[in-house]
């Protein structure tokens, strides 16, 4: 019977208390140590056998043990109580927390809507890389070396490894989706009909209507005996599906190096119905896309016979279409990831 026995008992009691799993188990341990017939009471009885000198020190230790076990047991009881309160707090009759499912970005939705209209007409939907060769982005599309858009100020050029240039010229971030025309026609024989959604890059200063990155959907169709009237019919059908049957369409002569003849296509203003407003600049018309009959030189570049093949191509800006359709006034809103904007769509 010594003070070191007390500390051994303290250790054993602590382990017992900590490992108890519920009120009943803890009560069993409390009785084992602190009950009237318990270990601590037994030690108090045994104190009688100690000498006068030993008794006070032993008694003090024993009281400390009793107090510390009492408070450990109380703490443990409180922790069981807390857990049971949490258990009881579950109310299966309360309505559940709705899961936040999110939605597709409005640009993705617009791209899908555009591509779906063409898919119904039999066009495939394909994609191409955002890093392009100078050849695919310009040369293959009959854009001559001296054309201003080849200038470093209008295109993001990339540095090749060790400054080396590939045989297809420098690498760049594509400035339009038209290079995918070259890619696809080089790899498959006509007839082809495809639409190509994707990102394009131009070093424009950012403002309400310009962004250094934006999205285009390209489209082209090549076969024998494809005429300008086919282009008109397809784009008419597309624009009526996209903006509603009541819009008027207008084809204005224009110039693109890779199409001849070329046309810009307008729809009657969807805001003022053609009367003239601030959105259409009082003109009553909105410019939507560029188009034309594919230039024979493009066919030569991709290895198609320009005497046999004819086709048309078109390209449109997705942000512009979404802005007009949904009344969005600033292109930067698409890219700021502000949930207050994104959640509206």
For the record, the structure tokens of 177 come out as 């989706």
- Interface segment toward ligand PHE; rule CB under 6 A; list 89-97, 300-308, 312-320, 323-331: 312-320
Of 69 and 318, the one with the shorter C-beta distance to ligand PHE is 318
Shortest reach from residue 307's CB to ligand PHE, in Å: 21
Selected from 26, 184, 313, 322, the binder of ligand PHE by CB under 6 A is 313
- For residues 260 to 299, the per-residue mask of contacts with ligand PHE, x marking binding by CB under 6 A and - elsewhere, is ------------------------------xxx-------
Residue 256 binds ligand PHE (CB under 6 A) = yes
Residue nearest to ligand PHE (CB): 315
Selected from 315, 319, 322, 333, the binder of ligand PHE by CB under 6 A is 315
Of 110 and 137, the one with the shorter C-beta distance to ligand PHE is 137
Q: Note if the bond before 191 is cis, omega within 30 degrees.
A: yes
Shortest reach from residue 227's CB to ligand PHE, in Å: 16
Selected from 30, 76, 176, 320, the binder of ligand PHE by CB under 6 A is 176
- Interface segment toward ligand PHE; rule CB under 6 A; list 151-159, 267-275, 297-305, 310-318: 310-318
Q: CA distances (Å), 268 to each of 248, 288, 325, in order?
A: 5, 10, 13
Shortest reach from residue 131's CB to ligand PHE, in Å: 17
Of 16 and 218, the one with the shorter C-beta distance to ligand PHE is 218
Shortest reach from residue 138's CB to ligand PHE, in Å: 11
Shortest reach from residue 167's CB to ligand PHE, in Å: 24
Q: What is the Cα Rg of the chain in Å? A: 40
- For residues 186 to 225, the per-residue mask of contacts with ligand PHE, x marking binding by CB under 6 A and - elsewhere, is --------------------------------x-------
Residue 314 binds ligand PHE (CB under 6 A) = yes
Number of residues counted as binding ligand PHE (CB under 6 A): 11
Selected from 20, 110, 259, 310, the binder of ligand PHE by CB under 6 A is 259
The 3-class secondary structure across the chain, one letter per residue, is CCHHHHHHHHHHHHHHHHHCCCHHHHHHHHHHHHCCCCHHHHHHHHHHHCCCCHHHHHHHHHHHHHHHHHHHHHHHHHHHHHHHHHHHCCCCCCCCCCCCCCCCCHHHHHHHHHHHHHHHCCCEECCCCCEEEHHHHCHHHCCCCCCHHHCHHHCCEECCHHHCCECCECEEECCCCCHHHHHHHHHCCCCEEEEEEEEEECCCCCECCECCEEEEEEEEEEECCCCHHHHHHHHHHHHHHHHCCCCCEEEEEEEECCEEEEEEEEEECCCCCCCCCCCCCCCCEEEEEEEEEECHHHHHHHCCCCCCCEEEEEEEEHHHHHHHHHCCCCHHHHHCCCHHHHCCC
Residue 178 binds ligand PHE (CB under 6 A) = yes
Shortest reach from residue 176's CB to ligand PHE, in Å: 3
- For residues 72 to 91, the per-residue mask of contacts with ligand PHE, x marking binding by CB under 6 A and - elsewhere, is --------------------
Site residues (vs ligand PHE, CB under 6 A): 176, 178, 218, 256, 259, 290-292, 313-315
């Amino acid at each position: 019977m010594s003070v070191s026995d007390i500390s051994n008992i303290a250790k054993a009691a602590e382990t017992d208390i900590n490992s108890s799993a519920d009120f009943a188990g803890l009560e069993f341990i409390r009785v084992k140590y602190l009950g009237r017939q318990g270990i601590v009471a037994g030690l108090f009885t045994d104190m009688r056998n100690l000498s006068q000198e030993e008794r006070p020190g032993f008694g003090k230790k024993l009281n400390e043990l009793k107090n510390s076990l009492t408070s450990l047991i109380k703490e443990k009881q409180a922790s069981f109580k807390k857990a049971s309160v949490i258990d009881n707090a579950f109310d299966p009759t309360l309505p559940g927390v709705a899961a936040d499912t999110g939605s597709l970005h409005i640009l993705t939705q617009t791209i899908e809507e555009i591509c779906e209209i063409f898919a119904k007409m039999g066009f495939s939907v394909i994609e191409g890389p955002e890093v392009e060769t100078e050849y695919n982005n310009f040369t293959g599309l009959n854009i001559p070396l001296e054309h201003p858009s080849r200038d470093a100020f209008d295109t993001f050029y990339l540095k090749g490894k060790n400054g080396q240039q590939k045989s297809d010229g420098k690498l760049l971030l594509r400035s339009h989706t038209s290079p995918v025309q070259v890619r696809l026609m080089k790899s498959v024989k006509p007839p082809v009909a495809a639409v190509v959604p994707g990102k394009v890059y131009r070093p424009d200063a950012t403002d309400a209507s310009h962004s250094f990155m934006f999205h285009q959907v390209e489209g082209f169709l090549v076969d024998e005996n494809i005429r300008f009237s086919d282009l008109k019919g397809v784009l008419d059908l597309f624009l009526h599906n996209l903006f509603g049957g009541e819009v008027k369409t207008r084809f204005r002569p224009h110039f693109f190096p890779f199409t001849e003849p070329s046309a810009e296509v307008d729809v009657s203003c969807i805001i003022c119905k053609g009367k003239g407003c601030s959105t259409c600049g009082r003109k009553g018309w909105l410019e939507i896309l560029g188009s034309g009959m594919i230039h024979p030189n493009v066919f030569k570049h991709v290895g198609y016979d320009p005497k046999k093949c004819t086709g048309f191509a078109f390209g449109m800006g997705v942000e512009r279409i979404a802005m007009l359709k949904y009344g969005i006034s600033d292109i930067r809103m698409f890219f700021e990831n502000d949930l207050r904007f994104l959640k509206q769509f």
